């Protein structure tokens, strides 16, 4: 095969991380190893999803309720357990914070040498899992501050999203893609199942300052505050907008990353904080979108400046092209 095809197939995720971090020294090795573990988790989850319809017990509900008050899917549990198994063997990650676990999961053999905490949403968009529509996984990596002897992970609740040292997501779609940033731009890798490797497919992804897409669940219109309704009335009345909403945050954000536009999950009158969770949904994606030249806001504050009051704290999310985020904010702030 042509030389450039061979060179392309050699740009694997772990190689790329090392290349990005040449000036980071020891942390580069750690992050490369952690990203490699995330890639392994992604491959294990992708394998299960691809055959889920054929594997007895892979789909459907467990019958349990999680700390979010959601009915848990079997795939949520499987994916959550994959990350635990993969990171137990990592030696580097001491604590796991997951949507599906009420408390932090400590890996004693990795603590306190393991200086890292992994925050993750094992399956994002689980309402799509039984109908073979794309789902994702979302992750963020932080360095542990202090020894956390009392097991309250207070360092996680004293810092904002700028404390993240890496973030990204896996999109389980027609192809399985892993998109990440370690602060040196946003890069996308496509899984080559015949190699079992994530190969670089897009480097330094930048989203346009404006895009035609707005992505929101308009079924919630009747619950929103008036400024959000005014924004939706605006895009309904102006040419040049198109609605896209997939029900899985990762898929909707991936579209915005590549095509521009804005995704919104606003708060409602009854739940001003909205639905999406800060530590393993909004903050990792805000980190990524800012690295790609976009913005992420609660409507009145940058997502990355928000300090969570609790592990599963929620936040309203307006994220995407900076001009589109600013337009939504203008409706909110005119009214404030
Ligand atoms: P999760 O499946 O991890 O609980 O996340 C679901 C989230 C997010 O993926 C998506 O954007 C949003 O829920 C969809 O919520 P609605 O069904 O209320 O639109
Ligand atoms: Mn959920
Ligand atoms: Mn989610
Ligand atoms: Mn989830």
Q: 232 labelled as ligand-binding? A: no
Q: Are 44 and 87 in contact (CB under 8 A)?
A: no
Using a 6 Å cutoff on CB, does residue 99 contact ligand 1?
yes
Side-chain half-sphere CA neighbours of 44 within 13 A: 18
ipTM, interface predicted TM-score of the complex: 0.99
Question: What are the tokens at 103?
Answer: 């408390």
Low-confidence ranges of the chain (pLDDT < 70): 1, 23-24, 335-336
CA of 199: how far to CAs of 13, 30, 161, 240, 321, in Å?
6, 20, 28, 35, 27
Q: Ligand 1 pocket test: which of 79, 97, 120, 124 has the largest number of ligand atoms within 8 Å of its C-beta? A: 124
Say what the pLDDT of residue 335 is: 63
Q: At what angle do helices 249-259 and 283-291 cross, to 10 degrees?
A: 10
Is 125 a pocket residue for ligand 1 (Cβ < 6 Å)?
yes
pLDDT recorded at residue 68: 96
What local confidence, expressed as pLDDT, does residue 111 receive? 86
Please work out whether the CB of residue 76 comes within 6 Å of at least one atom of ligand 1.
no
- Residue range 2-38, pLDDT digits in tens: 788 888 888 999 889 888 877 667 788 899 999 999 9
Query: Can you tell me which atom of ligand 1 is nearest the CA of 99?
Result: 3
User: Considering every ligand atom, which ligand is closest to the CA of 251?
Assistant: 1
Question: Which residue owns the Cα nearest ligand 1 atom 16?
Answer: 247
123 is in an annotated binding site: yes
- Ligand 1 touching residue 124 (CB < 6 A): yes
pLDDT at 3: 80
Q: Quote the pTM value.
A: 0.97
Task: List, as ranges, residues with CB under 5 A of the ion ligand 2.
Answer: 70
User: Do 324 and 294 touch, CB atoms closer than 8 A?
Assistant: no
Q: Tell me what pLDDT residue 70 has.
A: 97
- From 67, 122, 127, the mutation candidate for ligand 1 (largest count of ligand atoms within 8 A of CB) is 127
Task: Tell how far the Cα of 14 is from the centroid of ligand 1, in angstroms.
Answer: 30
Q: Residue 217: CB within 6 Å of ligand 1?
A: yes
**228 to 106, 179, 224, 245, 329: CA distances (angstroms):** 40, 30, 6, 17, 9
Q: CA-CA distance, 81 to 85, in Å (whole number)?
A: 6
What is the structure's pLDDT at 24?
A: 67
The structure tokens listed for 200 are 């670089």
């Amino acid at each position: 095969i042509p030389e450039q095809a061979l060179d392309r197939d050699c740009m694997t995720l772990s190689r790329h991380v090392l290349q990005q971090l040449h000036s980071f020294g020891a942390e580069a090795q750690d992050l490369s190893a952690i990203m490699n573990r995330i890639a392994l988790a992604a491959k294990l989850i992708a394998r299960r999803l691809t055959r889920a319809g054929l594997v007895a017990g892979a789909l459907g509900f467990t019958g349990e309720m999680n700390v979010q008050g959601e009915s848990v899917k079997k795939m949520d549990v499987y994916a959550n357990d994959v990350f635990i198994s993969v990171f137990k063997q990592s030696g580097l990650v001491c604590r796991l914070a997951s949507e599906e676990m009420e408390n932090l999961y400590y890996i004693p053999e990795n603590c306190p040498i393991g200086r890292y905490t992994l925050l993750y949403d094992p399956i994002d968009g689980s309402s799509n899992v039984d109908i073979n529509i794309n789902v994702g996984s979302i992750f963020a990596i932080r360095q542990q501050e202090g020894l956390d002897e009392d097991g309250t992970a207070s360092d996680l609740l004293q810092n904002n999203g700028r404390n993240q040292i890496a973030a990204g997501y896996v999109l389980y779609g027609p192809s399985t893609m892993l998109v990440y940033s370690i602060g040196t731009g946003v890069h996308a890798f496509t899984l080559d199942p015949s190699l079992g490797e994530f190969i670089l497919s897009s480097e330094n992804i930048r989203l346009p300052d404006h895009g035609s897409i707005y992505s929101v669940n308009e079924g919630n219109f009747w619950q929103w505050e008036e400024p959000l309704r005014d924004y939706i009335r605006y895009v309904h009345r102006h040419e040049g907008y198109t609605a896209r909403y997939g029900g899985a945050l990762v898929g909707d954000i991936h579209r915005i990353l590549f095509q521009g536009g804005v995704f919104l999950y606003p708060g409602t009158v009854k739940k001003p904080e909205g639905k999406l969770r800060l530590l393993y949904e909004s903050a990792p994606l805000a980190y990524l979108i800012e690295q790609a030249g976009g913005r992420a806001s609660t409507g009145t504050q940058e997502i990355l400046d928000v300090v969570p009051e609790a592990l599963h704290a929620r936040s309203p999310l307006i994220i995407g092209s900076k001009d589109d985020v600013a337009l939504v904010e203008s409706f909110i702030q005119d009214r404030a």
